[in-house]
Structure 1
Amino acid sequence: MTKKILFLLALLPSVLFAQHTIKGTFSPAEEFKFAFLYHVTVETSIFVTNADVAEDGTFEMKLSEDAVPGTYRIVYAQPQDQYNFDFIVNNKEDIELKFDLETGLTFDKSGENKLYSSYNRSLDLINKSIRNFYNSGKEDTSGYSKIFNILENTQQEFEKVSKGMIVNTFIKAKRPYVPETFEDVPTFSSHIKSNYFKNIDFGNETLQNSNFLIKTVLDYVIGFIDPNNANASYTENVDTVVKAIGENPKIKSILLEILWNQFAVEENEVVANYIGSNYLLDIARANNDNELINRITYFKNASIGNTAPDFEFEIKDEDEKTKTSRLSALDGSNNYLIFFWSTTCSHCLKEIPLLKDFIKTKTKEEIQVVAIALDDDKYRWKNMTYDYPDFIHVFGEGKWDNPIGYQYNVSGTPSYFILDANKKIISKPYDIGAFKKELNSLIKANKPGLYPERKQ
Structure 2
Amino acid sequence: MKKIYILSAVLSAFSLHAQFTVTVQTPADFKEQDAILYTLNGSKDIIASKEQVKNNTWTFKYPKNYSGMMKIYFPNTNNSISFISENKNVSIKLETQDNKVKNIVYQDESNDLMSKLQEGSQKKELILPALAQIKEYYKDNTDFGKALKTEISRLSGGINSVDQAQHPFIYYYNTNYSKFLSADSAKKVTQDDIVNFLDKSNDLLETSSLLRPILVAYLNTGGNTNVGASVDKLLDTLKVETPRGQTVLSELIDIFDVYDMNEFKDKYLGLAKNLKCTINDRLASTIKSNTNVEMGATFPNNKFQSPLNTTAKSLYDVKADKKVIVFWSSTCSHCESELPKLLEKYNDLKAKNIQVVGLSLDTDKDSYSKKISVFPWINDSELKGWNSSYVDTYNVHATPTYFILDANNKIISKPEHVGDVLEYFKIK
What displacement does 1:107 show?
0.4
1:343 counterpart = 2:319: yes
Is the Cα–Cα contact under 8 Å of residues 41 and 207 in structure 2 kept in the other structure?
A: yes
Q: Paired residue for 2:266?
A: 276
Q: Deviations over 1:314-355 (max 9, x none)?
A: xxxxxxxxxxxxxxxxxxxxxxxxxx995169878x977513
CA distances 1:79-131 after superposition (whole Å, capped 9, x unpaired): 9999452421423x4523436656554302x1222122222222111111355
Change (3 A) 1:431 1:154: closer
Tell me which amino acid in the other structure corresponds to 2:72. V
Work out which of the residue numbers 84, 89, 93 in structure 2 matches 1:87: 84
| 1:154 paired residue among 141, 153, 158 | 158
CA distance in 2, matches of 1:166, 1:429: 45
Letter in 1 for 2:248: L
1:36 is matched with 36
How many residues are paired up?
312
SS, match of residue 207 in structure 2: coil
Under a length normalisation based on structure 2, what TM-score does the superposition of the two structures give?
A: 0.50
Q: Answer yes or no: is the 8 Å Cα contact 1:23–1:96 preserved in 2.
A: yes
Q: 1:202 to 1:415 in 2, by over 3 A?
A: same
1:415 to 404, 418, 424: 404
Between 1:163-172 and 1:211-220, the stretch displaced more is 211-220
Contact 2:68 2:86 (8 Å CA) reproduced? yes
- 2:210 aligned counterpart, secondary structure: helix
Following the alignment from structure 2 to structure 1, what is the Cα–Cα distance between the partners of residues 234 and 156? 29
Separation in 2, partners of 1:99, 1:342: 43
Where does residue 113 of structure 1 map in the other structure? 111
Tell me the distance in 2 between the aligned counterparts of 1:125 and 1:50: 36
Q: Is the 8 A contact 1:225 1:234 kept in 2?
A: no
Higher relative contact order (CA 8 A, sep 6+): 2
Say if 2:94 is the partner of 1:98. Answer: yes
| Among 435, 452, 456, the residue aligned to 2:422 | 435
Instruction: Confirm whether residue 285 of structure 1 aligns to residue 286 of structure 2.
Output: no
Give the aligned residue type for 1:281.
G
Q: Which residue of 2 aligns with 1:258?
A: 251
Q: CA RMSD in A?
A: 6.1
Aligned 1:158-237 pairs, distance under 5 A = 158=162, 161-167=163-169, 168-176=171-179, 190-191=187-188, 197=194, 200-201=197-198, 203-217=200-214, 220=217, 232=224, 235=227
Q: CA offsets, 1:348-397, max 9 Å, x none?
A: 8x97751376x8xxxxxxxxxx9899xxxxxxxxxxxxxxxxxxxxxxxx
Question: 2:122 matched to which residue of 1?
Answer: 124
Q: What is aligned with 1:320?
A: none
Which of 331, 348, 351 is the equivalent residue of 1:354? 348
With the length of structure 1 as denominator, give the TM-score of the two structures.
0.48
List aligned pairs for 1:338-417, cutoff 5 A: 343=319, 354-355=348-349, 415=404
Residue segments in structure 2 that go unaligned for 5+ positions in a row: 1-12, 297-315, 326-342, 357-393, 395-399, 407-412
Larger radius of gyration: 1
Cα deviation code 1:249-277 (max 9, x no counterpart): 3233223323423553x5x54x1431331
Match of 1:50 in 2: 51
Q: Which moved more, 1:74-83 or 1:43-52?
A: 74-83
| AA in 1 matched with 2:46 | S
- Whichever residue aligns with residue 232 of structure 1, its letter is N
Q: Is this contact kept in 1: 2:37–2:73, CA < 8 A? A: no
Task: Give CA-to-partner distance per residue, 1:50-101, whole Å, 9 cap, x none.
Answer: 23165xxx3141636x64242363432349999452421423x452343665
What is the identity, as a one-letter code, of the residue corresponding to 1:107? Y
Q: Distance in 2 between matches of 1:298 and 1:346?
A: 17
Contact 1:71 1:87 in 2 (8 A): yes
**1:397 — aligned with what?**
none
